Chain A
Amino acid sequence: MFEARVLSAQKGEQWLFEDIGFKLPGGAWLQVQGDNGSGKTTLLRILAGLSRSPTGEVLWGGQNTRDEPQEFHRALMYLGHQLGLKEELSALENLTVAAHLAEQDLALDKALHALRELGLEGRAHLPLRVLSQGQKRRVALAKLMSLQARLWILDEPFVALDAKGLAALLLAMQTHLRCGGLLIYTSHQSVDMGAHPGWTLRLTR
């Protein structure tokens, strides 16, 4: 269970949003929508614990994520605008480092399978700088698919993906939800999450 209570964010003198709260049970998704500059990324960074909200708190399993960060971070996978991948390293090396940072061991067959699913077969050992923007995003998505995390927080995950990449990501999201995972994402498009319960949060100023 992931819970947010009375979160708010300020930009200069203006309030971006105030009094945001929700409860998200296992197997459910939450889509955050809003115009450019309405605070979607800010909200996601607050939820992940990268930024602070002047009010309220974020709870994971009933515990404040600021008090028990380790437990929360073990369950969390955050994908922001920047992918957190190194251009000089290959896809596989990047995944290995990411796995170790998440205190997990990378299952090689699982990682290769994820890369294959995302159409990166034969590119697992190339340095990332020779890949295209969309392919780099796919490597970041392969991270989601090959590591274990209960809570996914994804900022604009559909950007720069083609139809095939989109389909693979949707499938991964639905599998994640079916296994009881939680999903929070921002997007301007509406996508079909199947029968999984979910809500849309619209940020307006």
Chain B
Amino acid sequence: MNGFWSLIRRDLTLAVRHKTEVLTGLFFMVVVASLFPLAMGPEMALLKRMAPGVLWIGAMLSTLLGLPRLFEGDWRDGSLEQMALSPVGLVPLVCAKIVAHWILSGLPLVLLAPLLSLQFDLPTGLQGTLMLGLLLGTPVLSSLGAIGAALTLGVRGGGVLLSLLVLPLFVPVLVFGTGAIEAQAAGLGVQAHVSVLLAMLLLSVFLSPFACAAALKVALD
């Protein structure tokens, strides 16, 4: 498992030395979430109603922004070849890449969300649900997105194709993520939505590395 942790550490170190790539996604999220209240005017009821949708769409698009670069750097400089030839195996290593991607793109969104939701006057209780939803949902986005990134590796104009491939898969996460907040606002409880998100999380985190590894082997061949 040394290779697994080492790769996560490497990707985090690379991100620290190359801050712009990480900050672009976060900055995007902050801009989207800040422009909506300015554009829609100070009508509290409307903003409160919009908040879950805007924040979730922001999180989704911000994740999508960094996805094309998930495997590209490693592919260009030959690191991916070395991973494919590692005795650790490509599946655990892809898993490490996905974990690192989530730490760099998903986790900051989870932590940032309550702050951004203040602009929409989201009550404290709903902020907790938002964070919980994002905590369960963003890893799903990372792992499903990784499949798209692996499939479009080396394809010219792959960014557009990646969005087309991946966005439909993101829709259920969006539906249940925002649904959880609305259910709580209506006093229905969030258990059902959270359970579905959790199921999606387990399934995608387990299966996605295998799909990614298969796609990457084709890209290397």
Contacts and interface: CB of A to CB of B under 8 A. Distances in A.
B131 interface: no
Contacts of B43: none
A81 B78 contact: yes
Contacts of A80: 78, 81
B69 interface: no
A100 B221 contact: no
A51 B78 CA distance: 14
Interface residues of A, number: 32
A177 B93 CA distance: 31
Chain B contact residues: over half helix, strand or loop, or mixed? helix
A70 interface: yes
Nearest to A143: B82
Given A50-B81, A89-B14, A98-B82, 4 more contacts: A81-B78, A83-B77, A88-B18, A103-B88
A48 interface: yes
Interface of B: 2-3, 5-7, 10, 13-14, 17-18, 76-79, 81-89, 93, 220-221
A48 B84 CA distance: 10
Contacts of B6: 96-97, 100-101
24 contacts: A50-B81, A50-B85, A51-B221, A69-B89, A73-B86, A76-B85, A78-B81, A78-B82, A80-B78, A82-B76, A82-B81, A83-B78, A84-B77, A84-B82, A85-B78, A88-B13, A96-B6, A100-B2, A100-B6, A101-B7, A101-B82, A101-B83, A101-B86, A127-B17
Nearest to B9: A97
B16 to A, nearest CB: 9
A48 B25 CA distance: 37
Given A84-B77, A100-B2, A73 B82 contact: no
Nearest to B80: A84
A82 B13 contact: no
B182 to A, nearest CB: 43
A120 interface: no
Nearest to A85: B77
Contact of B87 (A78, A85, A86, A103): A103
Interface string A15-56: 000000000000000000000000000000000111110000
B86 A102 contact: yes
A123 interface: no
A70 B84 CA distance: 11
Contacts of B5: 100
A74 B6 CA distance: 17
B15 to A, nearest CB: 10
A121 interface: no
A87 B10 CA distance: 12
Contacts of A127: 17
A73 B85 contact: yes
A89 B13 contact: yes
B1 to A, nearest CB: 10
Nearest to B75: A82
Interface in A88-114: 88-89, 93, 96-98, 100-103, 105
Contacts of B76: 82
A127 to B, nearest CB: 8
A84 B40 CA distance: 49
Given A87-B77, A88-B18, A97-B10, A50 B82 contact: no
Contacts of A70: 87, 89
Given A48-B85, A49-B85, A86 B14 contact: yes
A93 B7 CA distance: 11
A103 B81 CA distance: 16
Contacts of B87: 70-71, 73-74, 102-103
A83 to B, nearest CB: 6
Contacts of A52: 221
Nearest to A87: B77
A62 to B, nearest CB: 19
